[in-house]
């Protein structure tokens, strides 16, 4: 057996989480599988295997990753799933399309996420070949067949039922669909409030399908403050204020997503879905970057033009020397250090951030069953 897999399958000792004023002891259960669905915020390399422009497989992406090489993560280093894996005592999940994801490595879980996708199938069409959410769910079915062949149907079902699942969707349905161009097809079809209702109705189908496929602990993240990313500041902001229309989109979408999560849990009669307030997690350091050790939350570390928010992060872009003091790595994505702050709220945040409970509480409850 691979030594890393062996060690990750052992019972882990207490995880010590230290916040500014509190020490929280989080008992860790036996390391569980981890599955990831969603977009570029959580993609860790699937798009490397696709003919698409939505890629992060070249320098300076990955500059602070342990190998100092681009991995397909839209980050200078680790992304949100990597850090969650650290916190729950699991090996980082491999991209599902990575040929190395085979044999006992399958038991760690898998990352199905693909940069550019959204809740809707017409989101991200400009990126051409990406793994839309319906396809990600089909791959999850295929994964389960592969694991069943490895350890048997009953054990495979147990592995999936006991796994932690992360799903991050919605941002691209606004940025790369509704607001992509003036008078977009979707903006002509729907007023913004009606579009959000439609998105939520489609998201319901996705979450129900995840449950049908065996997911029993699903962390559902809302959208971040879409109007505050450097790309939007560059296009729509005169003095660094967040873009109002995209902020309104987040303000409409996120409460309805929480409501959906509560409705589904009520219908099922169990706490399956947990909503994470990514908007607030981001706004904490965006609105007061200095309090979190950042020198700016408006200018991206890597980019060009106003706020380093124009175009893509490339080898010829401006590049900051110290990524730890920038909240944003590129025009759209947080730096690794910002990702760590976000995951901290997932782990130990109160009900302002997590509903109905945080990830540490989940780990504690599940360690007793």
So which residues are the catalytic ones?
40, 330, 333
Q: Copy the structure tokens of residue 68.
A: 């100092």
Rounded to whole angstroms, how far apart are CA atoms 105 and 292? 36
326 C-beta neighbours (distance < 10 Å), count: 26
Cα–Cα nearest to 230, from 167, 310, 284:
310
CA angle at residue 9 from 92 to 28, to 5 degrees?
85
């Amino acid at each position: 057996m691979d030594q890393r897999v062996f060690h990750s399958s052992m019972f882990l000792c207490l995880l010590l989480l230290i916040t500014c004023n509190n020490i929280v002891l989080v008992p860790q259960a036996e390391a569980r599988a981890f599955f990831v669905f969603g977009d570029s915020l959580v993609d860790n390399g699937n798009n490397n295997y696709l003919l698409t422009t939505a890629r992060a497989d070249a320098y300076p992406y990955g500059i602070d990753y342990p190998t100092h090489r681009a991995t397909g993560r839209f980050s200078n280093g680790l992304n949100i799933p990597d850090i969650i894996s650290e916190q729950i005592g699991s090996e980082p999940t491999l991209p599902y399309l990575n040929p190395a994801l085979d044999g006992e490595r399958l038991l760690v879980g898998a990352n199905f996420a693909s940069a550019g996708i959204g809740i809707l199938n017409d989101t991200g069409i400009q990126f051409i070949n990406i793994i839309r959410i319906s396809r990600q769910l089909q791959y999850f079915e295929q994964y389960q067949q592969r694991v069943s062949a490895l350890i048997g149907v009953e054990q495979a079902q147990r592995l999936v039922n006991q796994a932690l699942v992360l799903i991050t969707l919605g941002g691209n349905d606004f940025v790369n669909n509704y607001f992509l161009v003036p008078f977009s097809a979707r903006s002509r079809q729907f007023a913004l409030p009606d579009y959000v209702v439609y998105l939520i109705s489609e998201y319901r189908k996705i979450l129900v399908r995840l449950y049908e496929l065996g997911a029993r602990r699903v962390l559902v993240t809302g959208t971040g403050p879409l109007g505050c990313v450097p790309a939007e500041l560059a296009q729509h902001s005169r003095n660094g204020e967040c873009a109002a229309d995209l902020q309104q989109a987040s303000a409409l979408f996120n409460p309805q997503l929480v409501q959906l999560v509560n409705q589904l849990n009520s219908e099922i009669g169990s706490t399956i879905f947990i909503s994470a307030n990514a908007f607030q997690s981001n706004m904490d350091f965006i609105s007061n970057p200095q309090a979190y050790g950042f020198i700016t939350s408006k200018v991206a570390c890597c980019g060009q033009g106003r706020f380093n928010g124009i175009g893509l992060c490339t080898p010829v872009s401006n590049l900051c020397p110290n990524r730890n003091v920038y909240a944003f790595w590129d025009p759209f994505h947080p730096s690794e250090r910002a990702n760590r702050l976000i995951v901290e709220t997932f782990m130990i945040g109160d009900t302002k951030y997590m509903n109905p409970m945080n990830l540490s509480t989940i780990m504690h409850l599940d360690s007793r069953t």
